[in-house]
Amino acid sequence: MSERDISDFDLINPTESHSMLREMVRDFVEKKVESQALEHDKNEKFNLELFRELGELGLLGITVPEEYGGSGLDTVSTIIVHEELSSSDPAFTLSFLAHSMLTANNLSLNGSEEQKLRFLPGLCSGELIGCMAMSEPDYGSDVMGMQTSAELNSDGNWVINGNKMWITNGSIDEDGTPADLVWLYAKTGEDSKGRPEISTFLIEKGMDGYSVGQKIYDKSGMRASNTAELVFENCIVPPSNLVGSVGGSISHMMRNLEIERIALAAMSLGIARRSLVEMNRYASERHSFGKPIREYGQIQRHIAESYAEYKAMQSYVYNTARMINLESGGYRLDTDGVKLFSSTVAKNIADRAIQVMGGYGYVGEYVVERLWRDSKLLEIGGGTIEMHQKNMTRDLYKYPESILR
């Protein structure tokens, strides 16, 4: 690549198609998402009707090949969409992530041809709402300790028992209607070394024994995204709904976590950007002691440090996305790293925005307090910051050359 090529390269919008996608999503956010965000946060209500409009835009199956109803776009495209949506409504975006990346993308990469043809068109259009069920009441970061079990019965069907907790899109409305399709991880035995074997099942709404245990209310943030406990009590699942081989889910479960973490980092980027925009604007409009507050040193520190951290986060997020191939794993160091860095930076920038805006920053009408509340989940969901620190330290011990790349 020549010096001119390097200077012309746009990391954030590498192609004209990426620029057009960003413009389309940003327009949708301004016209449709922004006006409903505060109300749905207050009411703890998921905007299902608006969510289905994402299907009309081709976003619900953004990475799914076109032959199954998707758009067949790349990792950078998914980052653009998550960033733009999160700049207005992170909770709405979280539901999008659970559906498009953790369900539809997972199925398109790992499902059988029959499973893809049966479920992907509905997931891409929004006719079906999907979720991924991994965490349990007593097992979150310790995912390999999951207790949900699947056993073969005498007629060849699988019988699943257990509870899944903190499931985004687990319930899709106020009546406790369960998700149309669950990408479920369950323990199907142990290998010769006593390690758990994890398998994946597609659970459909209407299957006996599958229900919503409870919808989780009174969350600090992400209130416009439904979170639920799912209950599987002697749930009968046909063999055709087993994804891949028995015990063969560890690799794509780990790859799934990598994809989730880069998408969550993109959400942090959207939160940070919007918080910085609001902080910067307010500092120009607000006067104190006869001059704009942006002329005071402490306010300048909040704005300047936030901008520098935002730009560092932006580069890390998009550079990591550029390297990721959705069809393969092996990117844990940087997907953990970018989420670790971005989630805390986004929370800190939102916190500074509240501080700069004073009392106005502390009320819902001025957006940043909601962004601040929403940002906290990003230090927990998809892996806690403590787990990222552990993983990264372990990986750097094994691959010290990563530091020099």
Cα–Cα distance for residue pair 378/83, rounded to 1 Å = 13
Is 371 in contact with 350 (CB distance < 8 Å)? yes
Does the active-site annotation cover 260? yes
**Which of the following is catalytic: 44, 260, 309, 379?**
260
- Helix or strand or coil: residue 159? strand
The CA distance from 341 to 334, in Å, is 10
Element (H, E) at 225: none
Query: What DSSP string runs through 291-357?
Result: EEGGGSHHHHHHHHHHHHHHHHHHHHHHHHHHH--TT----HHHHHHHHHHHHHHHHHHHHHHHHHH
Check if the beta carbon of residue 211 is closer than 8 Å to that of residue 178.
Answer: yes
SS3 226: coil
**Short-list 110, 122, 271, 137, CA closest to 199:** 110
Kindly list the catalytic residues: 260
